[in-house]
Amino acid sequence: MTAATDHHHELSFWRKYIFSTDHKVIGIQYGLTSLLFLLIGFSLMMLMRWQLAYPGEPLPILGALFSDMVMPDGVMQPEFYNQLGAMHGTIMVFLGIVPLAVGAFGNYIVPLQIGAPDMAFPKLNMASYWVYFVGGVVMLASFWI
């Protein structure tokens, strides 16, 4: 009669949603993270549009956040504009659109369509998301180094 005394152990938030091996949760993680990266790429594009609309004018509010090397007195330098263009394109394609299509929809929908209960290697699937996330953070951090 030990089965009657056993209690189901509820997974913690970290185990259930952050370090999950469930393909649906990982698909949602890919989707939310890629939308965040798309928002960052959109923000870089808006900085470029500001420069095109008001050349030589200081960038309000955000101009003070950047160093004097790239934005002296809040005015964008041409080299920094080129860096924004390269980072915008890279972020939008490799951290936004492709992971949204392949990671989010692929993880969430494909196992459901083929009738599989889960992915073939769920821990490897979880590790692939975290490599994507850490790689994106390192790429964004390299922009300011």
- Of 49, 61, 132, 50, nearest to 91 by C-alpha is 132
Share of the chain above pLDDT 70, in %: 96
Q: What is the pLDDT of residues 43-92, one digit of tens each?
A: 999 999 999 999 989 988 888 888 788 888 888 889 989 999 999 999 99
Share of the chain above pLDDT 90, in %: 56
- Of 8, 29, 12, nearest to 129 by C-alpha is 29
Can you give the pLDDT at residue 12?
A: 82
Can you give the pLDDT at residue 139?
A: 94
Collapsed DSSP state (helix, strand, coil) of residue 135:
helix
Can you give the pLDDT at residue 5?
A: 67
